[in-house]
Structure 1
């Protein structure tokens, strides 16, 4: 099967739901069925190998111990569900629960869809979905190498397109992920965590990066935490379908209940990477004044904006010597005052910030505001100690249908600029400058990129900062209005 054919079949399966299911919710239904089909086809593949090698001497114990990556209890295989004529949703629901129970490592992987609820998913739509998958074989004989993982990424991208702004909850554009991971340069054997892992795209890209460099990706130890149940399940499936088995994805609130803790202290990782939700409200500021993990080491961020809570959590989770932190943030973190200004000053005085990379506008589904990559290290390279590298990459993109895109060439140029600290793109391209902390202090610890690598007057810089602040405030207002609208509808008031 070709990659294109596989992707076409999978998207056709998703379209079997069109009508009764909102396209933004396709992922909650399609991915568990895809994963169930893959497990069953993989079980069949290894079962046949075991029979060929052992013949009549094959026992269930030998097969389970030496061949099968997953256990499928008798009567709960894909074929058993597909052949069910009545109450198909009940049968599917029971099958997924029994497979999870038989495989502790799969706990929660199928999400929480109520397959027997025919009001939400009519049986005709479910049967059409199962029929669409039934005709494709997903075992290693039919789907080679990374094809299935790539097809999963394809579906994630298509579902993000269908979800619009809701896509920001689970999907980061892959060109942004590729750039951030390339900058952080994961190495074989390292420990990696994403505290807002969404569908696991950042973690998957670390695998690809190590592979591309000729390293053994199986030695990576991958970890992720995600608050949303469906998205947590999607992340687990994503990693399994990319050939990973040794990883840990945990569900929970990173601020109120961090899951990677040992003996009362945060676990320490070589690499911490994330694209967390921007300007998160009600993130748990009331608990951070006495945070048992000392994550407010530079101060408690505002209750209505968790950006610097993510940053401090990530820095608190990284190793002293080898550790790197890469995080996507709105430009507001570069210049907002008050509590955030004090935290920013503290981080700079500790010399944790290595680089600020301004990206093009309109790269994300969830927001059109400009964003930046912030790179932190507790121990910076000698040549960058007492300095911050500023890169303006805002012009490195091509216009897309809904969002702007960065090409592989754009990514390579930005990465080379970060590595070497010199502009390799010439006139009209990207600009950069390595700035002493003394100059930043002279600017009141304002990190607005325009202050350091362009010739605008201070007034012009203030206009840029004000514009970004206005755009962020406008999006926050719209989000608040949407919440209010939902509450009014729930209370019986019509808009």
Structure 2
């Protein structure tokens, strides 16, 4: 019987909910994802092991253990589930079922930790550092009773192997938990999860093709890498042909990304741990920054950092210590392949108009004609901030199409959203309209030539001469009339508020004077 998406999601959430007595929801992911992936590996290994035993039952009697092991791992298994505590009476396989059978015995967390570490060690090319720090296996962090309850509840989830459920279902369940944890964890979610619809918009704009390389320098849980493969598959291509690369500063989050990719049956990937600005891990043999076809990111906003002193990435200058926003852009520009490299990044509006060192960098990027488009997004889309953001799209030097050269396409999608429980969301129609506006051709005045091209969104291609005349300010309100009109309306509202506030203060002053004259005190501020 086929496993439904809702069934596996409900069972997994029930397991996560067992943690409510031990830790806040924001920390659930550090426990649930390693356990879920361990169960997936164990179920998959056991499924293939049974296939091996069934198909070779007549042969096994005459084979030595070493020969049987060689045949199984050559023809049936793609990874190894080894033994823990070999050579002792505590020896047992590091599998989910094996350890689950011991949950009533003391030291459950130690056995779980030993199992996960043994799997990492036995499969260094695939699973090195996969399960993160595993601090939750300590009795002081998570009691054996709670850990046992989580495992028992998760064990009610249907077997997680390809013979029982598709990778689409499995990957969807993983993404469901990511979103569920993010909805309940507030601003911390921004550290590892970008809302799916924002990811989809960036990927649709950059449009990865088969066999291309894709890179996310701040990859979080790997959502942008997975979305690239999913979009290619949806367009009739083979998502698994993409060569996926990601770097993440937080080791546990990097582990979440690796597990996420595996759950989606994507194996051509490398996820490295480290600070991308300080220690970029993807480099060419000569030590220069590695280059890719597609670069996409949602970096931490206005991050304080240690500025570069001598780095070839610093085109136009060095970003200020108070904000690494443009440093991430400079790194992404350096990472674009020379023939078809393109990049998309989500950043706060401040990068469009802030002065000082950032203005100098912005001017150089525009002078080199690297910026192709600015897409203004609605406020309150993200878990980590309510401020409005924008997608900046870049192209490698000299690779813009002729119609987009020496200028920037501005698209205002700031009013296109639907209110949800904790934040605003983009609908499929909102995404499609923004993508259509991005691909629209424009007339001599920079306006979309197809009435349906902008799909109700305000868009305009602005020549670099006009941007230069505005001091290289990229504020969308400077170039799109509708956005400017809305800004004027906001100013009118502010003026009206100030007038009303002044009148209220006068009225209160008169009231307080009358009360004081009547001998009534205690109402003044």
1:314-371 alpha-carbon deviations (Å, 9 max, x no partner): 0000111200000001000000001101110100000000000001110001000000
CA contact (8 A) 1:393 1:429 kept: no
Change in 2 beyond 3 A, CA 1:180/1:66: same
1:458 deviates by: 11
Partner of 2:416: 396
| Farther-moved stretch of structure 1 (70-79 vs 100-109) | 70-79
Does the alignment pair 1:413 with 2:440? no
1:170-217 CA-partner distances (Å, limit 9, x unpaired): 000000000000000000000011000000000000010110111111
Aligned to 1:51: 53
- How far the C-alpha of 1:141 sits from its partner, in A, is 2.2
Specify which of 144, 156, 170 is matched with residue 123 of structure 1.
144
1:69 deviates by: 1.7
2:316 to 280, 298, 312: 298
Instruction: Provide Cα deviations, 1:421-475, integer angstroms capped at 9, x if missing partner.
Output: 43756999410001110010111100000110116779968x99xx9xxxxxxxx
- Please point out which of 110, 119, 142 is paired with 1:99: 119
Q: 1:380 to 1:83 in 2, by over 3 A?
A: same
SS of 1:128's partner is helix
Counterparts of 1:456 and 1:155, CA distance in 2:
37
Rate the CA distance shift 1:161–1:458 in 2: closer, same or farther, 3 A.
Answer: closer
Q: Measure the CA separation in 1 of the matches of 2:487 and 2:204.
A: 33
Q: Say yes or no: does 1:265 pair with 2:265.
A: no
1:327 corresponds in structure 2 to 345
Query: Residues 171 and 43 of structure 1: is their aligned pair in 2 closer, same or farther, counting only changes over 3 Å?
Result: same
Aligned to 1:148, the other structure's residue is in SS state helix
Instruction: Give the structure 2 partner of residue 238 of structure 1.
Output: 260
Report the alpha carbon displacement of residue 114 of structure 1 after superposing the two structures with TM: 2.5
Distance 1:457 1:394, change over 3 A: closer
Distance 1:20 1:439 in 2: 58
Give secondary structure in 1 for the equivalent of 2:129.
coil
Q: Is 1:146–2:148 an aligned residue pair? A: no
CA distance change for structure 1 residues 333 and 4 in 2, over 3 Å: closer, same or farther?
Answer: same
- 1:430 matched residue in structure 2: 457
2:436–2:453 CA contact under 8 A, matched in 1? no
Residue 34 of structure 1 is matched in structure 2 by 36
Deviations 1:219-261 (A, max 9, x none): 1000000000110000000000000112100000101110001
Say which SS state the counterpart of residue 435 (structure 1) adopts: strand
Contact 2:314–2:327 (CA<8 Å) still a contact in 1? yes
Work out whether 1:3 is the aligned partner of 2:30.
no
User: Which one of the candidate residues 434, 441, 446 is aligned to 2:473?
Assistant: 446
- State TM-score, norm by structure 1: 0.90
Structure 1 stretches lacking a partner, 5+ long: 468-495
Shift in CA distance, 249/121, structure 1 to aligned 2, threshold 3 Å: same
Q: How far apart in 1 are the matches of 2:58 and 2:136?
A: 38
Alpha-carbon distance in 2 for matches of 1:428, 1:72: 53
How well do the aligned residues superpose, as a CA RMSD in angstroms? 2.0
Alpha-carbon offset, residue 144 of structure 1: 2.0
Classify 1:17/1:67 alpha carbon distance in 2 versus 1 (closer, same or farther; 3 Å).
same
Unpaired runs of 5+ residues, structure 2, are 61-67, 84-92, 442-447, 495-525
The superposition leaves residues 24-61 of structure 1 with CA deviations (integer Å, 9 ceiling, x where unpaired) of 00000000000000000000111122222222435111
- Tell me the SS of whatever aligns to 1:311: helix
Deviation of the 1:116 alpha carbon: 4.0
Is 1:226–1:251's contact at 8 Å kept on the other side of the alignment?
A: yes
Larger radius of gyration, structure 1 or 2? 2
Q: Is the 2:120–2:129 contact (alpha carbons within 8 Å) kept by the matching residues of 1? A: yes
Change (3 A) 1:455 1:413: closer
Instruction: State how far apart, in whole Å, the 1-side matches of 2:483 and 2:415 are.
Output: 17
Contact 1:193 1:273 in 2 (8 A): yes
Cα shift at 1:401 = 0.8
Match of residue 478 from structure 1:
none
CA distance in 2, matches of 1:40, 1:178: 32
Determine if the alignment matches structure 1 residue 376 to structure 2 residue 394: yes
Distance apart, 1:71 and its partner CA: 0.2
Query: Are the counterparts in 2 of residues 396 and 429 from structure 1 also a CA contact under 8 Å?
Result: no
Distance of 1:154 and 1:211 partners within structure 2: 20
